[in-house]
Each structure stands twice: as structure tokens, then as C-alpha cells.
């Protein structure tokens, strides 16, 4: 409820709402047809759906496609409700109206324990908080692709929009044919009547625009023909034949190209520069100093007629960067400070039940452990880039972004124009993972474009700049303490963690006018620790939020990404300490969490848990819930020539209703590869404010030869869909670490994993 108080006061302070909080009307997300881009031959039926003259359907797409398959999944929802083939649904970028905002992502930020906040019987205060935040999120209308929230957020609005459009079309046909609507059937985009009359949607689009159907409901589950069935990704053909447009594929008449070189010290300013060495190179036309936009770092851009001379130009510049001061971030010092914070500060309590202090005093045995995780870079395969053009007070931007509204606001800020004078075109994203929730590179592109006399310019970063000027996953430490009673059972669990909070730092960049009120306890710091499903009677989970000075941001699965390694490794420690099988120990403490137990058992069964393995191999198991989905993984591991080798990962997931089974499997596979790269090789070291890693030679990715077999099994469910893009990441490191313990008897308590 503290967060509820903050949201109401912050929103009121900014003047976003002028009516009383209790008087907020229920607001439909259907939207008016005027929100759709007017196109000749197409008729908009609401803010999401247009009907083309040929009977095809156009869907307003508010979310970014970065490989997670949302363009296909959202089109499937619409195709299902309209009864049209999936290949008859086309996409166009949605506008900036609030109906396209991501409500589910903000509601999910509430710091409630999942065992308390799910289902119809949740406490009234939780229902109230979720309702209030949902209402406010709809008013704010923040359009963001993140938090594995796209399908969860648009599950109801999109199906309702499509069902309403279908009802309007059927109603128009009934009026034209003078027959009852109940006698009209729809199949594959064709409306038919037993009399023989038939028409495709395009013939009734104009008449349907004047209809106002009531009591519309989406299809019953038993009538689904598409949802839940494997469907080919609609974005794959264009990616295979080269027609897909990512940020770096944008080509405009007269396009210029710019490379950047930033201050090596994180957050440093741009220096005074002699442009002559760069301007002397063929093809180079301009040298532009860069401000530190969006919480980034200052530097310089060199503009040329193609990327190569631009890159050569930034290297030719003789730059004397200002020296870093003694307060510049340093990972060794930060690690020491985090440990001190753990030992001297109590932090914010996110979850408490029972009487942990009393249980600790009465304990016969105490088990203590310290876990740690390093800073991590995102390492998107497409480095940061943005194309911008500024002409006559109008700004146009082509950018791979997860936050188009923030990109528009940044462009307007840099150019000194109103947001209505900025047009943002969202391209495909060559990986996001949270890095493209930032818009520092958008500010750079607009600043460079303003110096190019109306010519469009594409600013692109090298891999080295991308690695050394990221918004990193924070370094975190966590201290565990478990008490065992005289019977050897766990009587209490205390967890205290320390590390930078991401959300306040991100909000200070995204909405500076709210940065003061938002500096409050951040759920992402403790998620995966305070919300464990295990039924230990006494628990106490807290976090000490720090400010290291390192720019931190959302990394795929955020706090869960390291906290799951901490918690599930320690659960394994408890199983070993009490001489129990890791699976049996978990199931014993999951008696009040049957959904978790079912997922865990499914993974274990499919992996052949407890059955003999090849010589030199062992299995490890881990269970974790994030973004509404429960995932269990069993990793089969060996050590070959001194290196960790993961041969197979069996995944089980309960993600509610499955829209496209193929996408679920793909996301589990991608999550395993991404998480295993981080678990084995991921680490960012900072000395004197300068990041030491620079490219994939020292920030390795998993090779194809090292990639394990990944098998995915889904739990059938009638619940609404939950996240898929991120939940496969958190359990992986713990499953591998636990397998290493089973294999070697040595417990890994730090990432990356080493032998």
C-alpha cells in the first residue's frame, strides 16, 4: 500500500488527473476508429482493427518485436476472434494513444507475494492495490515492451476489439440481407447465410463502421481453432529473405552515417576536440560533440558518407578525456561496500512471516551462506543505433526501441520541439533484453541530425562502445541464514540482499519529474527472494538498496536473473545439509503450492531424475516463478578438459493458456542459451570508472557446439496467459550449479560459474 500512496501522490503532483481518485470512470481500451491510421480502401472499426477492401485485417501493433514472437501471437488473437486465416492479418504501428499503454507491466510491479496475490480469494487490500494501479496505468498509457507482459496485457483488450469488430461486420451483413444475425456464420473471413448469400469482410467494412454491437464476448475456449495450436512465426520469411527492416537496415535518400566514441569513464562528459584529423579523411563531413543524453555518457560523433570512414574518423581523433576522479565506480570497491552494507544495515523488509528471530534463538543448527553476482552487459547482437532527420522544426526517427513514447520524448527534448512534432518509426529489434528500454542513443542521433542541415543520419555504435557504455545488470550480494530444529527440519529462513535498485534509476531517466517520489523500495531488488513458494514457517526477506554510481538497467528477467541462482542454490544446500534428495526436499516444502509442485515434478519426470546417467555426468534441478510463470529446469552437466559442459536442459513451464506452443519452446531454448552464456562467461569489471571488457572475445557467448539439447514441456492450463520471454532465464544458473555440486561436491556461490 506504500506504493499505492506514492502513485496517487506522484500522479496528483504532476497534474495528470484532475478528478477525484474515487471518481475515476471505468475506461475501455477499445478505442475509437480515429486512432487508426487513415488509409484509402481501409475502414477502422475501433482503435485496434481496420478492414481492408480485399477483406484482410489490419491490426494496430503497439509492441516491439525483438525475437520473442509477439507480432505472431497478437495476430493470432485477432485472427481467432475474427475467424480469418493468420496470413490475412497485417500489422501497422500503433499511435501514441493511452489505450496502447502496458497496464499489466505496471500492475506486476506491486511487491506482493505470489501465494497471496493470485486467484479470486486474494486479500481485499491486494485487490484494491491492483485495481488502483491498473486504473492509473490506463491513464498514463505508457507503451513499453518489457516484463514479459505483452500477451498478459493484451489478452483481453485485443480479443474484445476483434470480437467487437466481428460483431459489427455480422450486424452489417444481417442488415444488408435482412436476416437475423444468429443465422450468419463466419469462416475464414467469409460471412455466409443458409440462403446462399455470402460476403467477405471488405464488402461490409463501411457498413460495419456504423454499427454499435452490445453484449459482445470473446469466443468460448471450446470454439478456438487457432489459439493453442502451433503456428509459424509471421516475421520469419522476411528475416530469411532479407526483407526485414531492423534499425541498421534503414535506408533513406541522402542518408549519412555516423560513428560514436564516448568518454571511457562511465557518465563522463564530452571533451574539447580538434576535428581536423577526422575531417582530413575522405568521406568525412562533420565532427559533432555529444552530450550525455538519457543518463548516458558524453562523447563525439563523426559523420561520413558511409560507416567505414565514420569509424575511421572517430579513431583518428586525438582526444584528451578528462581524468576520472576518486569517486569513479570500481567493482572491487563496490563489492566491499555491498558486503559492508549487508553487515551493518537492515534494509527494507519485503516479506516477513512467523517469528524468525525466535526460531533462530532456538535453532540446533544454523546454515549460513553468502552469494554474489557480477555486473552484466546486455550484448544485443544488433548494437545501439538510431536514424534521425530534423527538417523545419519536425523530427523523424527510425529506431529499434522497446519504448517508442520515451524515444519520442527524448527526440523532442533534444530538438527543442513539441512531442507532436516528432514521428517515431519502430523497426524490428535485433535483441532487446531490456537495453532498448533506454533512449540515450536516440538523443545522440537527434543531436547529430540537427548538425546535418536536414539530411537524415544513421548513428551506430561499435560493439566496443556497446559493451563499455551499457546500462548494466547490477552487482548484487545476498546473505542467507537458515535454522534447523532438533528434528533437522528448517524452522526459519532469513535472506538479506544488497545492490543498486534499477527502477528508481530508470524512472529518473524516463520521467525526471517523478524521480523524487519514486526513490522508494524497488521490488526488482528482492524478487526471487522475498516471494519463494516454500512453506517454511518463519521467514524474513529484506534488501539494502545502494547507489554505486554505475548506470544500471533492466536485464532479461531483472532481479530474478541472479536471485533465482541465490535462492535455488541455497535450497539445494538445505537439501544436502538435511541429507535429502533435492527434488524430494523441494516437494516436501511445496505442499501448499501445488502448481509449483506440478511443474517441478513434470521436469523431473521428463528428465529421468534419479535414473542412472552416463559416467561423469550429474543432474541439478531448480524451480522459479517470474513474470507470472513457473519454470522448473533439470540440467545434465559434466566437466570436460577443465570446462563446464551442459549436455541437456529439460524445462517444464506453467504459463497459463498457451497461445502458440512453438513460441513457448523457442523462448525456453533462447532463454537457456542466453542464461548459460551469462552463467559461464558473463561478467563486467570496472576499474576507475572504465569497463574492462570490450567485445565477444572477453564477453563470450555460448557457441553452437556448446549448446545443450533443450526440451520443453508445458503444463495444460485454463488460466490467462503469463510471461514466456524471460521466465526461462532465472532457474538455469542454479540448475547447472546444483549439478556441479552433485558432480564435484563443491558448492558454487558466485557467478560466473567456475571449476
Q: What is the DSSP string of 615-648?
A: TTEEEEEEEEEETTEEEEEEEEEEEETTEEEEEE
Cα separation of the two ends of the chain:
45
Give pLDDT, residue 515: 53
247-321+384-460: CATH topology is: Aldehyde Oxidoreductase; domain 4 (3.30.365)
Cell of 14: 504532476
What is the per-residue pLDDT across 504-518, written as a single tens digit (0 to 9) for each? 999 899 877 665 544
The closest of 185, 145, 138, 187 to 17, measured between CA atoms, is 138
Cell of 715: 503444463
> Can you tell me the distance from the alpha carbon of 341 to that of 200, in angstroms, rounded to the nearest whole number?
67
Provide the edge-to-edge strand list for the sheet that holds 284-290.
Answer: 284-290, 299-304, 256-262, 457-460, 385-391, 394-399, 422-426
Regarding pTM above 0.85, the answer is yes
CATH of region 345-372+472-744, choose from 1.10.287.950, 3.40.50.720, 2.40.50.140, 3.30.365.10: 3.30.365.10
The closest of 661, 713, 712, 657 to 72, measured between CA atoms, is 661
Residue 129: CB atoms within 10 Å: 21
Give pLDDT, residue 11: 36
- Measured CA distances, 8 to 24, 97, 153, 446 (Å): 12, 21, 22, 34
What letter would DSSP give residue 143? -
> Can you tell me the distance from the alpha carbon of 583 to that of 599, in angstroms, rounded to the nearest whole number?
12
Assess contact for 71 and 60: CB atoms under 8 A.
no
Assess contact for 136 and 10: CB atoms under 8 A.
no
Looking at every residue in the chain, the average pLDDT score rounds to: 94
> Can you tell me the distance from the alpha carbon of 335 to that of 316, in angstroms, rounded to the nearest whole number?
37
Give pLDDT, residue 119: 67
Whether 247-321+384-460 shares its CATH topology with 345-372+472-744 is answered yes
Assess contact for 550 and 334: CB atoms under 8 A.
yes
Look up cell 463501411; give the residue.
206
Going from N- to C-terminal start, the domains of the chain cover 25-102+141-240, 247-321+384-460, 345-372+472-744
Look up cell 485487490; give the residue.
127
Which residues are within 8 A (CB) of 710 and not within 5 positions of it... i.e. 6 or more apart?
648, 649, 651, 668, 669, 672
Question: Residues in the chain with pLDDT < 50?
Answer: 1-27, 517-518
> Can you tell me the distance from the alpha carbon of 301 to that of 313, in angstroms, rounded to the nearest whole number?
9
Cell of 489: 527440519
Give pLDDT, residue 516: 55
Look up cell 470512470; give the residue.
25
The closest of 696, 692, 676 to 684, measured between CA atoms, is 692
The closest of 506, 590, 521 to 551, measured between CA atoms, is 506
Pairing label, strands 422-426, 190-192: unpaired
Question: What is the helix (H) or strand (E) element at residue 82, kind and residue range?
Answer: helix 70-82
- Farthest-apart Cα atoms in the chain, separation: 85
CATH number for the domain formed by residue range(s) 25-102+141-240: 3.30.365.10
> Can you tell me the distance from the alpha carbon of 249 to that of 430, in angstroms, rounded to the nearest whole number?
11
- Measured CA distances, 610 to 165, 582, 634 (Å): 53, 10, 11
Amino acid at each position: 500500500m506504500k506504493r499505492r500512496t506514492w502513485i496517487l501522490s506522484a500522479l496528483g503532483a504532476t497534474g495528470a488527473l484532475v478528478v477525484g481518485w474515487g471518481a475515476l470512470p471505468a475506461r475501455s481500451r477499445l478505442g475509437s476508429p480515429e486512432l487508426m491510421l487513415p488509409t484509402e480502401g481501409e475502414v477502422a472499426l475501433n482503435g485496434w482493427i481496420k478492414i481492408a477492401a480485399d477483406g484482410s485485417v489490419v491490426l494496430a501493433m503497439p509492441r516491439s518485436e525483438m525475437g520473442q514472437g509477439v507480432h505472431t501471437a497478437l495476430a493470432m488473437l485477432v485472427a481467432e476472434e475474427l475467424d480469418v486465416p493468420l496470413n490475412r492479418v497485417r500489422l501497422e504501428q500503433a499511435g501514441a494513444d493511452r489505450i496502447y499503454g502496458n497496464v499489466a507491466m505496471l500492475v506486476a510491479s506491486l511487491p506482493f507475494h505470489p501465494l497471496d496475490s493470485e486467484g479470486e480469494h486474494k486479500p481485499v487490500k491486494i485487490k484494491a492495490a491492483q485495481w488502483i494501479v491498473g486504473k492509473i496505468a490506463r491513464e498514463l498509457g505508457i507503451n513499453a515492451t518489457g516484463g514479459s507482459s505483452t500477451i498478459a496485457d493484451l489478452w483481453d483488450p485485443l480479443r474484445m476489439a476483434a470480437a467487437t469488430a466481428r460483431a459489427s461486420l455480422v450486424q452489417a451483413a444481417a442488415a444488408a440481407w435482412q436476416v437475423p444475425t444468429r443465422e450468419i456464420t463466419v469462416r475464414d473471413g467469409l460471412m455466409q447465410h443458409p440462403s446462399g448469400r455470402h460476403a467477405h469482410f471488405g464488402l461490409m467494412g463501411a457498413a460495419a463502421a456504423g454499427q454499435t454491437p452490445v453484449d459482445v464476448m470473446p469466443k468460448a475456449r471450446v470454439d478456438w481453432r487457432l489459439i493453442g495450436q502451433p503456428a509459424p512465426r509471421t516475421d520469419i520469411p522476411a528475416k530469411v529473405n532479407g526483407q526485414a527492416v531492423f534499425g541498421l537496415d534503414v535506408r533513406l535518400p541522402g542518408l549519412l552515417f555516423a560513428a560514436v566514441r564516448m568518454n571511457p569513464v562511465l557518465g563522463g562528459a564530452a571533451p574539447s576536440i580538434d576535428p581536423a584529423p577526422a575531417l582530413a579523411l575522405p568521406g568525412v563531413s562533420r565532427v559533432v560533440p555529444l552530450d550525455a543524453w538519457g543518463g548516458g555518457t558524453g562523447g563525439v560523433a563523426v559523420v561520413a558518407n558511409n560507416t567505414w570512414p565514420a569509424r575511421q574518423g572517430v579513431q583518428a581523433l586525438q582526444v584528451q578525456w578528462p581524468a576520472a576522479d576518486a569517486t569513479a565506480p570500481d567493482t572491487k570497491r563496490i563489492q566491499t561496500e555491498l558486503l559492508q552494507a549487508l553487515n551493518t544495515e537492515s534494509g527494507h523488509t519485503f516479506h516477513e512471516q512467523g517469528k524468525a528471530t525466535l526460531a533462530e534463538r532456538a535453532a540446533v543448527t544454523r546454515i549460513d551462506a553468502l552469494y554474489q553476482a557480477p555486473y552484466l552487459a546486455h550484448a544485443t547482437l544488433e548494437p545501439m543505433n538510431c536514424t534521425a532527420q530534423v527538417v523545419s522544426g519536425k523530427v523523424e526517427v527510425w529506431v529499434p526501441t522497446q519504448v517508442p513514447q520515451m524515444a519520442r520524448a527524448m527526440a523532442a527534448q533534444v530538438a527543442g520541439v513539441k512531442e507532436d512534432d516528432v514521428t517515431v518509426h519502430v523497426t524490428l529489434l535485433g535483441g532487446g533484453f531490456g537495453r532498448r528500454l533506454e533512449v540515450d542513443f536516440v538523443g545522440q542521433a537527434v543531436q547529430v541530425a540537427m548538425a546535418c542541415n536536414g539530411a537524415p543520419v544513421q548513428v551506430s555504435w561499435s560493439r566496443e562502445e556497446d559493451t563499455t557504455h551499457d546500462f548494466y545488470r547490477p552487482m548484487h550480494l545476498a546473505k542467507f541464514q537458515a535454522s534447523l530444529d532438533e528434528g533437522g527440519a528448517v524452522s526459519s529462513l532469513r535472506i538479506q540482499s544488497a545492490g543498486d535498485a534499477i527502477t528508481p534509476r530508470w524512472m529518473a531517466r524516463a520521467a525526471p519529474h517523478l524521480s523524487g517520489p519514486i526513490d522508494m523500495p524497488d521490488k526488482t531488488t528482492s524478487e526471487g527472494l522475498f516471494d519463494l513458494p516454500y512453506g517454511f514457517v518463519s521467514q524474513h526477506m529484506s534488501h539494502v538498496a545502494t547507489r554505486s554510481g554505475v548506470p544500471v538497467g533492466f536485464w532479461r528477467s531483472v532481479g530474478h536473473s541472479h536471485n533465482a541462482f541465490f535462492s535455488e542454490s541455497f535450497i539445494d544446500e538445505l537439501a544436502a545439509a538435511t541429507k535429502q534428495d533435492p527434488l524430494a526436499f523441494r516437494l516436501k516444502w511445496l505442499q501448499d503450492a501445488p502448481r509449483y509442485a506440478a511443474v517441478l515434478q513434470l521436469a523431473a519426470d521428463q528428465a529421468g531424475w534419479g535414473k542412472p546417467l552416463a559416467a561423469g555426468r550429474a543432474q541439478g534441478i531448480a524451480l522459479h516463478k517470474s513474470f507470472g510463470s513457473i519454470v522448473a529446469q533439470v540440467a545434465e552437466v559434466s566437466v570436460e578438459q577443465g570446462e563446464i559442459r551442459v549436455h541437456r536442459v529439460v524445462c517444464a513451464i506453467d504459463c497459463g493458456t498457451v497461445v502458440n506452443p512453438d513460441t513457448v519452446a523457442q523462448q525456453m531454448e533462447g532463454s537457456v542459451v542466453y542464461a548459460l552464456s551469462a552463467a559461464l562467461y558473463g561478467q563486467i569489471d570496472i576499474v576507475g570508472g572504465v569497463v574492462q571488457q570490450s567485445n565477444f572475445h572477453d564477453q563470450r557467448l555460448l557457441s553452437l557446439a556448446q549448446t545443450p539439447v533443450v526440451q520443453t514441456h508445458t503444463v495444460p492450463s485454463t488460466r490467462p496467459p503469463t510471461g514466456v520471454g524471460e521466465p526461462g532465464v532465472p532457474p538455469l544458473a542454479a540448475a547447472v550449479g546444483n549439478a556441479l555440486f552433485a558432480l564435484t561436491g563443491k558448492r558454487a556461490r558466485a557467478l560466473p560459474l567456475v571449476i
